[in-house]
């Protein structure tokens, strides 16, 4: 009887975990599968902190549970990557900022590897994730766009002010000439 209760509660825990992982896939804009073999506990803690600062999360989840959770999601093509110890990065906001944080961490800790990932329905291998990390982030693009939008207004303002400024410079030149003559 005790074995039956333990088996039932274990099954319920696994079902809860699968449901929680499915919710993460639904909420995420990006999911990346990593290999973490050889990382120390301190390195894993630092990785989790850096990913969290980039509006993401890093989790190690059993492959069998992720396999179940991937069914009927947009991330189903990541299933073949579930070999060996795998860690998952879920990105909830800007994929570029998250990619930059991940690639920076990998440059310092070569034992973490990218197996693959998906961003908005597109499969990405390690090379594509690195290319994504080189792109400007959303705030950077917004700042550039704002500067481009403001440039014509600034030029127009200068153009409107120029005749008045010329008149002031002309009057100042005439005043100096009169002062030097007297």
pTM assigned to the model: 0.70
**DSSP 8-class letter at 135:** S
Helix (H, G, I), strand (E, B) or coil at 123: strand
Residue 4 has what pLDDT? 45
Do 104 and 169 belong together in one domain? no
Helix (H, G, I), strand (E, B) or coil at 119: strand
Helix (H, G, I), strand (E, B) or coil at 35: strand
Do 125 and 173 belong together in one domain? no
Do 8 and 43 belong together in one domain? yes
Number of separate domains in the chain? 2
Tens digit of pLDDT per residue, the chain (182 long)?
Answer: 445 445 666 888 888 888 898 898 888 889 999 999 999 999 999 999 999 999 899 999 999 999 888 887 888 889 899 999 999 999 998 888 899 999 999 999 889 999 999 988 888 888 888 888 887 777 776 777 777 777 777 777 787 888 888 888 888 898 888 888 86
52 φ/ψ sector (left φ>0, alpha ψ -120 to 50, else beta): alpha
Of 9, 105, 92, the residue nearest 55 (C-alpha): 92
Q: What is the rounded distance in angstroms from the CA atom of residue 168 to the CA atom of residue 23? A: 67
pLDDT in tens, 91-112: 998 888 899 999 999 999 889 9
Q: What CATH code is carried by the domain that includes residue 105?
A: 3.30.70.1730
Q: What is the rounded distance in angstroms from the CA atom of residue 54 to the CA atom of residue 4? A: 43
Is 70 in contact with 78 (CB distance < 8 Å)?
yes
10 φ/ψ sector (left φ>0, alpha ψ -120 to 50, else beta): alpha
| 144: containing domain | 137-182
Task: Give, for 180, the enclosing helix (H) or strand (E).
Answer: helix 138-181
* DSSP letters spanning 52-117: HHTTEEEEE--HHHHHHHHTTSTTGGGGGG--SSEEEEEE-S-HHHHHHHHHHHHHH-TT-EEEEE
Residue 2 has what pLDDT? 46
- What is the number of residues in the chain? 182
Maximum pairwise Cα distance, the chain: 117
Do 114 and 165 belong together in one domain? no
Residue 180 has what pLDDT? 86
Residue 8 has what pLDDT? 62
Do 74 and 157 belong together in one domain? no
């Amino acid at each position: 009887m005790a074995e039956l209760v333990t088996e039932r509660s274990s099954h319920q825990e696994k079902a809860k975990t699968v449901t929680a992982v499915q919710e993460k896939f639904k909420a995420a804009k990006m999911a990346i599968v990593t290999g973490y073999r050889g990382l120390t506990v301190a390195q894993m803690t630092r990785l989790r902190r850096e990913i969290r600062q980039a509006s993401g999360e890093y989790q190690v989840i059993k492959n069998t549970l992720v396999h179940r959770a991937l069914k009927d999601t947009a991330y189903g093509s990541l299933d073949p990557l579930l070999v060996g110890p795998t860690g998952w990065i879920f990105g909830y906001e800007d994929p570029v900022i998250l990619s930059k944080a991940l690639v920076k961490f990998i440059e310092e800790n070569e034992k973490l590897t990218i197996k693959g990932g998906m961003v908005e329905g597109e499969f990405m291998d390690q090379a594509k994730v690195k290319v994504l990390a080189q792109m400007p982030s959303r705030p950077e693009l917004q700042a550039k766009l704002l500067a481009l939008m403001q440039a014509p207004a600034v030029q127009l303002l200068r153009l409107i002010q120029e005749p008045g400024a010329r008149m002031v410079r002309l009057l100042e030149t005439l005043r100096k000439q009169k002062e030097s003559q007297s």
